[in-house]
Homo-oligomer: A and B are copies of this chain.
Amino acid sequence: MRSLIDVLDFSVEELQELIDTANDIIARPEAYSQICRGKKLATLFFEPSTRTRLSFEAAMYELGGQVIGFSEANSSSSAKGESVADTAKVISCYADIIAMRHPKEGAPLVAAMNASIPVINAGDGGHNHPTQTLADLLTIYREKGGFENLTLGLCGDLKYGRTVHSLINAMSRYAGTRVVLISPEELKLPSYVKKDVLEAKGIPYEQTTNLEEAIPGLDILYMTRVQRERFFSPEEYLRLKDSYILTPEKLRGAREDLCIMHPLPRVNEISVAVDEDPRACYFKQVLYGKYMRMALILKLLKEAKAAGKLGVDMSQTLTDVLFCRNPRCICSVEQELKHVFKLSDRENKVYRCLYCEAKAN
């Protein structure tokens, strides 16, 4: 059985299959309007994320299915101390597929390892948010006609922005990708992403602190929200949050066919005055996200017929030998969860937590 925990769980071929399905849904919605009749999606949101939750629910309804779930932890059994593993086993009795949002990194993987139905990671803390990346990819595919030879500009919070890291990872698999990193010093892309992804895959990239100068060379401008909750002090947040606000003025030198994206919600990183610009694609991105979630639900339900729980490759792992110290990892709270580390870099003997991917130390 398949689940979606990290967007890289899917090969380039599988991603193309999802994109083809999404395009077919857009072309022939009525052909899909009853395809999930009698199926149920469980939206298990241990922290609120209305936009993501409603996108999944709209997706399931447009496939003719039903939805059960909760939108906050305080209305969930976890308040009574139920483990994620038990919740996954219980929900497997009620639904056909799970979309889980959880503040702890790796929680959806724990759910997938215990559920008897597919699990979709709808965001696990600052770790992964693969369906956002699926939305981004369909937007790029439809707006640019494909994934090759594109110059991708990423602007704002490149340090904590998980959607940025996932998108870089996903785009690094296509030929001719070039990356321009636009951020203040304090929010630069972490060096491990540069090293392990950009450099490892030979992706040319440059770093700059100047948005306006970078714009003219871009095919895609991906703006990100500066999240209050990622900052250590309110002062630091206030000082930085207004950096890199996109305005019509800054777009003067931009290409005719620039594609402006944003994962939303925005605070004020993009002036409302830009919304009317035909190059503004961030609301189309929302719509495309729904279609990719429809395609994803269809793919996972189809593959769910292949019985058995999630097959996790346990080769080159250590169990209860190393222990995860990441306070944001599901390991820090889940009852009786074995600590598993996987050899991620043989040469340098780097082991990473199976759940949150934190390095062993």
Contacts and interface: CB of A to CB of B under 8 A. Distances in A.
Interface of A: 33, 38, 40, 42, 48-51, 54-55, 57-58, 61-62, 66, 68-72, 74-77, 79-82, 85-86, 89-91, 93-95, 225, 227-228, 264-268, 271-273, 275, 283, 286-287, 290, 335-336
Nearest to A52: B77
Given A70-B71, A82-B264, A93-B286, 4 more contacts: A48-B76, A58-B95, A81-B265, A86-B265
A61 B81 CA distance: 27
Given A75-B71, A93-B290, A265 B82 contact: yes
Nearest to A338: B272
Contact of A79 (B48, B62, B286): B48
12 contacts: A33-B38, A40-B61, A48-B75, A48-B76, A48-B79, A50-B77, A80-B265, A81-B228, A82-B264, A89-B286, A90-B264, A93-B287
Given A68-B58, A75-B71, A77-B50, A336 B268 contact: yes
A50 B71 contact: no
Contacts of A38: 33, 62
Contact of A54 (B85, B91, B335): B91
A58 B51 CA distance: 23
Contacts of A266: 82, 86
A55 B286 contact: no
Contact of A50 (B40, B75, B93): B75
Number of copies of this kind of chain in the complex: 3
Contacts of A70: 50, 54, 71
B68 A57 contact: yes
A80 B265 CA distance: 7
A53 B80 CA distance: 15
A202 B71 CA distance: 48
A38 B85 CA distance: 35
A225 to B, nearest CB: 8
Contacts of A227: 80
Contacts of A336: 268, 271-273
Among A57, A61, A68, A94: residue with most chain B CB under 10 A:
A94
Given A58-B68, A61-B66, A264 B75 contact: no
The list of the 5 closest CB pairs from A to B, nearest first, reads A82-B265, A58-B94, A93-B287, A48-B75, A71-B75
A89 B283 contact: yes
Nearest to A29: B38
A196 to B, nearest CB: 29
Contacts of A89: 275, 283, 286
A13 B345 CA distance: 66
A137 to B, nearest CB: 17
Nearest to A229: B80
B264 A86 contact: yes
A26 to B, nearest CB: 12
Nearest to A116: B283
Among A50, A86, A225: residue with most chain B CB under 10 A:
A50
Contacts of A66: 61
A158 to B, nearest CB: 19
Contact of A335 (B50, B68, B272, B283): B272
A230 to B, nearest CB: 12
A77 B51 contact: yes
Contacts of A273: 336
